[in-house]
Amino acid sequence: MSSNVVLNLIIAEAALELVPGEISRHASVRNDARRRDLEPSRILLDRSIHHAAMLRLKEDYKRGRPDLVHLTLLSITSTPLYQQAGAKVYIHTRDDLVLEFKEQTRPPKSYFRFRDLMQQTLYEKPGSGLITFHAESVPRLLSRIGSDPAIGLSVQGNPMKLEDLAIQLVGAKNPAVLVGGFPKGHFTPETTKALEKLVRIDANALDAHVVAARLVYETEKAVGHRSSSS
Ligand SMILES: C[S@@+](CC[C@H](N)C(=O)[O-])C[C@H]1O[C@@H](n2cnc3c(N)ncnc32)[C@H](O)[C@@H]1O
C-alpha cells in the first residue's frame, strides 16, 4: 500500500462506456455524434440522450449514466481524506475496464469536461499519466492492488453501522470498498464472489454519491480517533 492511503475506493460496474457498436446506427446516437462532430464509437453512452436506442441493450437499466459516475467521483475527490492522499479511487466499468486515478488527481467539476475526458480515456487507453487504463475484472483489480479486506456496499448486504465499518477499515492492512456505479440492480456474482463481505449501511437504497461521501466522512473520523488515541 502506498504511504498515506487508508482506503481504496472502487466505483464498480460503473455505468460508463462508449456507445456499443450494436446501436451506433440508431438515429439518437448518429444525431448526437454529428452534433458533436465525433464518430459514434467515440461518444459516451448516455441514457438522457440515447434512451430509445438503449432499449435494445442487455441490462439497459444498469447502463448509460456517466452523470452518476461523475457525481460519485466528485463526492470522493472533493473530500479532505482524498486531497491529503488518504484515499485512492478507481472506476471499474461493466465492460471490465479500470480507470485508475493517481492520488490527489482532481477530475473536472464540469460534467461536459468530465464527459470529454472519459471519452478520450476510454478511447485512447493511456498506460501512463494522471489517469491510467487497465483491462481487468474486479477480482483481478483487487488482486493487483492487494486489497485486504475487500468489502462491497449493497442493499443486499448484512446491516452494519457505517461508523463501525470505518473503524474496521482504518484498522485493516489495505482495505478496498466497492460502491456500485450504476442506477439500479446489484453487483454481479463474479464481483460478489471476490469480496469478503457485503454490507448494508441503511434500510433504504441510497444514491451511490451519498454512500461514497458518507463512507469517506466516517473514515476521516475513524482516522482522527486513531491518531488522537495513539
Ligand atoms: C443506486 S445504488 C444501486 C441500486 C441497488 N438497488 C442498491 O442499492 O444496491 C448504487 C450503489 O450505492 C450503494 N448503496 C446504496 N444504498 C445502499 C445501502 N443501503 N447500503 C449499502 N450500500 C448502498 C451500493 O454500492 C449500490 O450499488
The protein residue whose alpha carbon is closest to atom 23 in ligand 1 is: 154
User: Alpha-carbon distance 119 to 125, whole Å?
Assistant: 10
The protein residue whose alpha carbon is closest to atom 20 in ligand 1 is: 200
Which residues lie across from 197 on neighbouring strands?
151
Q: Which residues line ligand 1 (CB under 6 A)?
A: 153-155, 179-180, 182-184, 186, 200-202, 204-208, 211
User: Alpha-carbon distance 121 to 49, whole Å?
Assistant: 21
The protein residue whose alpha carbon is closest to atom 12 in ligand 1 is: 208
User: Alpha-carbon distance 78 to 87, whole Å?
Assistant: 11
Q: What is the pLDDT of residues 42-65, one digit of tens each?
A: 999 999 999 999 999 999 999 999
Q: What is the pLDDT of residues 150-209, one digit of tens each?
A: 999 999 999 999 999 999 999 999 999 999 999 999 999 999 999 999 999 999 999 999
pLDDT beyond 60 at 93: yes
Residue 198 is predicted with a pLDDT of 98
User: Alpha-carbon distance 78 to 96, whole Å?
Assistant: 26
What is the Cβ-side half-sphere exposure of residue 153, based on CA atoms within 13 angstroms? 33
Task: Locate the domains of the chain by residue range.
Answer: 7-15+65-229, 21-61
Give the Å distance between the CA of 135 and the centre of ligand 1.
Answer: 25
Nearest ligand 1 atom to alpha carbon 207: 1
Please tell me whether residue 40 adopts helix, strand or coil conformation.
helix
pTM reported for the whole predicted model: 0.96
The protein residue whose alpha carbon is closest to atom 8 in ligand 1 is: 205
Give the Å distance between the CA of 66 and the centre of ligand 1.
Answer: 17
Q: Which amino acid is at 90?
A: Y
Reported CATH class of domain 7-15+65-229: alpha beta
State in Å, rounded, how far the first CA of the chain is from the last one. 21
